Structure 1
């Protein structure tokens, strides 16, 4: 089962985990992944918390795209199809919670803050093979009590890009996700996806609640956060995302995040002060 969880199979495969809980209310795995590895779309019969102990993950569901920076987590409800891509090397801790133990209904995906206490609990409870699961003793039950309290209070972060239901608009959005630096206009995309610019503008507002430019900027912001978390210099991030100058990228970042991108970089990876 451990191998199945690390490398899910066919598109949309259901991977049951509850039988492996060993009588407890939670199940925690720790696993390391090489750069660029991926888990194809799959789903579980229980809710899941992905915790990026080290590295950056991109998570895609039928309705959205998330970036999970190091030290953060992503909550995924039971039965939600999801695929995971590791941007660089990733150390992941994955928590599964039995349905009867959930402190409150959590029906939506979200990137969340993983407090230090919750990180410590995950580390204490982590297994490397589900066959190691055993009936919980008093210590594990006490840790599970505290773990469930911590989950109920997790703060959500706005690290999400919505995806549309319309097939034509989804094709356009997937092209932008693959090449966020692409400067082509909505008119440039229209013929290729089989819809007029007017139709695409209407669909963006109806299904995503914003225009094409604002949606693409959100994609670029998510990509910037992933790159900054991987210690890439600000000037390189700006160039990779299609900005003519670092100053334009920094201005966008400040407007969106309320702070400079230098705050997301260790000093050793930051640009010279003049670039900020």
Structure 2
């Protein structure tokens, strides 16, 4: 699929601008920002979205709300079918001024797809504006989820490289020592940087990445035993860790409605 032309964010006469794109696994989109608000929704595939202060894992059935002016990069974990809508600043102001991960139910999904696939010329202006209004209401009322990982606001490239490496491979099978060697720093130095920048140790931070990754896999219907193995756990030890951290077993975790 050829890349669609970028939206014209200088045209404030329209309420939203759509964008449909396909991205291949492993692609990294360099940090950038927009003057409009942005709803990023993946019909299929998983991405990590990185802002200066946090990283968010975004599986299908979730979207990210990005207020205007938020710097962000995107790391594509698996082949991604993206459907985005940009909201002009006056409309964006009716949503939060912080980044949010949003559960996408069936109605919101169909509204996003409708806005991306059909503009006012196809639907008629009155109908189109009604769809925009309903989509905004659904965005405002949609459940917010916690799939956020704190990221270091640090200029130390070694720490940032280590964090990005862990998000790509969060398994216990890759020890801290190996991550430190790959990042070009000693274990002691990176442990100190972790504590200073994030207020927690490496093991605790990686566990948060593992939990976010596990939730994204559960949403896609991946068996618990497979997730455990990918993260370097036995099924029982993974379930114990998951329950200890999130209060429920993996099989009891609320994942919302699955799209078919």
Q: What is the TM-score when the length of structure 2 is the normalising length?
A: 0.79
Shift of the alpha carbon at 1:75? 1.1
Q: What is the deviation of 1:36?
A: 0.8
Residue 230 of structure 1 deviates from its aligned partner by 4.0
Distance (whole Å) between structure 2 residues aligned to residue 88 and residue 195 of structure 1: 32
What secondary structure does 1:91 align onto? strand
Cα deviation per residue 1:252-275 (whole Å; 9 max; x = unaligned)? 122233333235799xxxxxxxxx
2:3 aligned partner: 3
**SS of equivalent to 2:214:** helix
Q: Which residue of 1 aligns with 2:244?
A: 255
Distance 1:38 1:264, change over 3 A: farther
Using the TM superposition, give the Cα deviation of residue 110 of structure 1 relative to its aligned residue in structure 2, in angstroms. 2.2
Matched, 1:161 2:149: yes
**SS of aligned partner of 2:10:** helix
> Who is 1:140 aligned against?
128
Tell me the equivalent position of 2:139: 151
2: CA distance between counterparts of 1:174 and 1:127?
Answer: 34
Return the match for 2:35 from 20, 45, 63: 45
- Are residues 144 and 36 of structure 1, via their aligned partners in 2, closer, same or farther at CA, if it must alter by over 3 Å? same
C-alpha RMSD of matched pairs (Å) = 3.3
Q: CA deviation at 1:144?
A: 1.8
Question: SS of the residue aligned with 1:44?
Answer: coil
Distance 1:148 1:188, change over 3 A: closer
Does the Cα contact within 8 Å between 1:56 and 1:88 map onto a contact in 2?
Answer: yes
Q: What pairs up with 1:221-260 in 2 under 5 angstroms? A: 221-243=211-233, 245-260=234-249
In the alignment of these two chains, the number of paired residues is: 249
Q: Give the Å deviation of 1:54.
A: 2.7
5+ residue gaps in structure 2?
A: 256-260
- Equivalent residues of 1:30, 1:94 under 8 A apart: yes
DSSP 3-state at the match of 2:117: coil
Report the Cα distance in structure 2 between the residues aligned to 1:208 and 1:256, rounded to whole angstroms.
18
Does the aligned pair in 1 maintain the 2:159–2:183 contact within 8 Å?
A: no
1:184 aligns with 2:175: yes
SS in structure 2 of the partner of residue 126 of structure 1: helix
Structure 1 partner of 2:9:
18
Residue 189 and residue 45 in structure 1: after superposition, are their counterparts in 2 closer, same or farther (change >3 A)? same
